[in-house]
Amino acid sequence: MKKSIYTSINLFVAFLMLTSCEDSIDLDLDTTKPRLVIDAGIAWEKGTDGAQQTIKISTTTDYYATEIPPVSNATVSVTNSEGIEFQFVESQGTGEYVCTDFIPEINETYELMVLVDGQTYTASEQLVATPEITHIVQNDEGGFFGENIEIKFYYQDNGEEDNFYLSEFNADFLSFPEHNATNDDLTQGNEMFESFIDEDDDLETGDEIYVSLRGMSEQFYNYMTILLENSGGNPFNTPSANVRGNIINQTDEGNYALGYFRLSEMDSAIHIVE
């Protein structure tokens, strides 16, 4: 089963596809200069020490390309408010930079720094707490017509603060995980839930559904809301426009990177379909 710990935000060139009843046409799409994509998601899984974290660096590519180009030879680090620096070292040639001694702390502020091709990219964000997933419920009469399997997981909102959440559902038959960004504006201090409806009847008894919940900052919530709206609810789709994150190019502001530096505690569970 795929377990996507964080959304890889790799935004491609906007496209237009034309078809006819007789022939399919591959358009010669305009290409643009590749733009850096920094997928810097720090997720502290409950019950772990959170020491191992990965940051992925790649570039945008043409629509018809089948592979995402990794970026090697970057210098990547994350520093906390006490000046402790955590180095992320590339697994050779993969564009994946791994740290094995990261120290996560709720409400701590961290600063990301990426040096690549003579450019310096930075971002700052707090690590946000996440409530526990208390229970998961399966309803075999879900959906608009009451004919689909619906999976819900529940959690308790903290009524003493404004909270923002990112949920995920994943299963083998899904091409990409399903995500939802939500807040507690109307449910302050109440029990909350997230749901997934199997509208295409792909689920069978014994199948596994992976669910996760992550707290996030209000700024990241706003970013994800725009991203999900622009991508039809799936951040892996090609959005109608590039969505700028919180990563700033200190060397050349116009040569900005895509992606978002975010940190959160995370809870997850697996539900076996009955």
Task: Convert the pLDDT of each residue in 22-31 to its tens digit.
Answer: 454 454 455 5
Segment (H or E) for 220: helix 218-230
Residue 208 and residue 211: Cα distance in Å, rounded? 10
Q: Where are the domains of the chain?
A: 36-272
Partners of 116 in the β-ladder: 119
Q: How many CA atoms lie within 13 A of 217 on its CB side?
A: 19
Of the candidates 122, 55, 120, 62, the residue with the CA atom closest to the CA atom of residue 94: 55
Q: Are 38 and 114 in contact (CB under 8 A)?
A: yes
- Which residues are 263's β-sheet partners? 42, 127
What are the angstrom distances between the C-alpha of 62 and each of 31, 34, 58, 111, 176?
Answer: 6, 8, 13, 31, 20
Residue 33 pLDDT: 80
Instruction: Work out the widest C-alpha separation in the chain, in whole angstroms.
Output: 65
Q: What is the pLDDT of residue 63?
A: 63
Q: What is the pLDDT of residue 236?
A: 54
Q: Is 196 exposed, middle or buried (0-12, 13-18, 19+ CB in 10 A)?
A: buried
Per-residue model confidence (pLDDT) at position 136: 98
- Report the amino acid identity of residue 229: E
With contact defined as beta carbons under 8 Å apart, do 104 and 88 qualify? Answer: no
Residues composing the chain: 274
Q: Spell out the residues 6+ positions from residue 50 whose beta carbon is closer than 8 angstroms to its own.
A: 42, 43, 44, 102, 103, 104
Question: Cβ(157)–Cβ(215) under 8 Å?
Answer: no
* pLDDT number for residue 6: 41
Q: Residue ranges of the chain with pLDDT lower than 70?
A: 1-32, 63-65, 232-242
**Which residues have a Cβ under 8 Å from the Cβ of 135 and sit 6 or more positions away?**
153, 154
The two three-digit tokens of residue 54, written as one number: 């990965």
State the pTM of this model.
Answer: 0.84
Which pLDDT does position 21 carry in this prediction?
46
User: Residues 207-226: pLDDT tens digits?
Assistant: 999 999 999 999 999 999 98
Cα angle at 35 between 33 and 38, to 5 degrees? 170
User: What are the backbone angles phi and psi of residue 91, rounded to the nearest 5°?
Assistant: -75, 115
